Homo-oligomer: A and B are copies of this chain.
Amino acid sequence: MYYIGIDLGGTNIAIGLVDDNGKILHKDSVPTQRDREYPEIIKDMAMLTLKVIEDAGVSIAEVKSIGVGSPGTPNCTDGILVYANNLKFKNVPIRTELQKYIDLPVYLDNDANVAGLAESVAGAAKGAAHSVTITLGTGVGGGIIIDGKVYSGFNNAGAELGHMVIVSDGERCTCGRNGCWEAYASATACISQTKEAVGLNPGSLINKLVNGDLNKISAKTAFDAAKQGDAAGQKIVTQYIKFIGEGLVNIVNIFRPEILVIGGGVCKEGEYLLKPLREYIKTNTYGLEGIADTEIKVAVMGSDAGIVGAAMLGK
């Protein structure tokens, strides 16, 4: 059987036909044009779904289901997108609307959960019954897979791993709480930490790398400076890796997944990030010698994660 996966983003709607192994056979995309009313956007989703099935040379009878991954808070049971700031969606009946055009089961979940499922079915955590996928991006997203299925609590609002406080009374988080992991370990946080450090160390190489324009600082800047031996850069990177590690150790202590997957742009730093991170996790994880360790891996699904994970919701 085949499965349709829809990655509903703020910019594009990407749709793919996926097989049982999580392999994309054919995919296509259209701009979301998110300022439109939801019936128009969902009609586009339906039309592109039918086109992808046709272009793949598959009959609709061979398609088992449609899965939708979206930002925001889903009501998975009823197939309703309760809220998605990015899309100005509020209580949008994704399932009912899609089924006006296509008579197939429709599943819905949020992007972080779907990314976790994609890694579990076809990516870095393939073969593991229990895995957790963390995405270090603008925020910190978490996808928890237990016994091969997405776990997000009784109301689908769980798995908010980025909103685990690691510094009580610490930095203000966008969620309103203080000290969330996201406020320390996201790419956004890394940029803030870098800007702050440059303020204190105007002679740092970081300043040169951005020609004195602090707005050009990215999550990569401190790593670039550190690799060239800049003391301020190295201090930022060491501290940032510790913040990432603090949350990851918490996750290992709580979930002991077979595989813990880390994704997001910062993973491009490769072993420069991963080696100290693995050491930090090994040193700080609770427990004894002689027990099998959680394996730390980098996400491999990239921009296909949304399509594949969404498709696999129906498997």
A82 neighbours in B (Cβ, 8 Å): 288, 290-291
Bound CA–CA A166/B250 (angstroms): 9
Evaluate contact between A83 and B288: CB separation under 8 angstroms.
yes
Q: Which residue of chain B lies nearest to A288 when distances are taken between CB atoms in the complex?
A: B83
Most buried by B among A159, A164, A177, A242: A164
B146 touches A291 (CB 8 A): no
CB distance from A118 to the nearest CB of B (A): 20
Q: Give the interface SS of chain A, mostly helix, strand, loop or mixed.
A: loop
A200 on the B face (CB < 8 A): no
Contact A154 B257 (CB under 8 A): yes
**Minimum distance in angstroms from A150 CB to a CB of chain B:** 12
Q: Roughly how many angstroms separate A178 CA and B76 CA in the complex, as a whole number? A: 38
Q: Determine the chain B residues whose CB is within 8 A of the CB of A142 once the complex forms.
A: 254
Q: Does A163 contact B (CB under 8 A)?
A: yes
Which residue from chain B places its CB closest to the CB of A290 in the assembled complex? B82
Interface string of A20-52 (1 = CB under 8 A from B): 000000000000000000000000000000000
On chain B, the residues within 8 Å of A168 by CB distance are 166-167, 170, 184, 242-243, 246
| In contact, A256 and B177 (Cβ under 8 angstroms) | no
Asked if A157 is at the interface of the complex by the 8 Å CB criterion, the answer is yes
- Contact yes or no, B165 A250, CB < 8 A: yes
Nearest-neighbour CB distance to chain B for A177, whole angstroms, equals: 5
Cβ of A304 under 8 Å from chain B: no
Q: Which residue of B lies closest to A259 (CB)?
A: B154
A292 part of interface (Cβ distance < 8 Å): yes
- Closest-CB distance, A283 to chain B (whole angstroms): 9
Interface membership of A153, Cβ < 8 A: yes
A175 to chain B, nearest CB (A): 5
Q: Are B256 and A157 in contact (CB under 8 A)?
A: yes
A19 contacts partner chain B, Cβ-Cβ < 8 Å: no
Tell me if A255 and B158 are in contact (CB < 8 A).
Answer: yes
Nearest 3 pairs of A and B residues by beta carbon? A153-B256, A158-B256, A163-B286
Binding site for B on A (CB under 8 A): 73, 82-83, 128-130, 142, 144, 146, 151-161, 163-168, 170, 175-177, 184, 242-243, 246, 249-250, 252-258, 284, 286-288, 290-292, 294
Q: List 8 A-B contacts (CB under 8 A).
A: A154-B292, A157-B287, A160-B253, A160-B286, A161-B254, A164-B253, A166-B166, A167-B167
